Amino acid sequence: MRLIDADKLEITKLAEFKDLDGDTVPVYGVMAEDIDNAPTVDAIVLPVKVGQTVWTIRHNPHEGHVIKENQAVNIGMCFSKCSEVCITVVTTKEDILGKTVFLTREAAEAVLKARENK
């Protein structure tokens, strides 16, 4: 996947048409060959996709810490939290990858076990 640096694209007048009142309306855009040759920007490839199953550690007052299966509904970078990957799941607003949300149940179990051994 290429991420194009849109700031470096040249927007040009591609065509004109007449509206219902007879006024000329210009159409602006970017030529396809300009897109093909446009410079790219660096991107962060996130390790999970929206809709993917993730595993969260939650505290249940009756059971203690439990591992729950959830769906990722939003994925992004939390730059206010030292550039950690944040994943929003159905049950919460925000989780930190590797701390409270995991890509596999086994990873969640390992973290929970390590916490219990402290």
* Tokens found for residue 116: 């219990």
Q: In what order do the strands lie in the sheet with 95-96?
A: 95-96, 84-89, 64-78, 53-60, 101-102
DSSP H/E element including 106:
helix 105-116
Closest to 49 (Cα-Cα) out of 78, 96, 91, 87: 87
Q: What is the pLDDT along the chain (118 residues), one digit of tens a residue?
A: 567 777 777 888 888 989 899 999 988 888 778 878 887 777 666 777 888 888 888 888 888 888 888 888 777 666 555 555 566 665 555 677 777 888 888 998 998 888 888 7
Q: Is 87 exposed, middle or buried (0-12, 13-18, 19+ CB in 10 A)?
A: buried
User: Whole-angstrom Cα distance, residue 48 to residue 46?
Assistant: 6
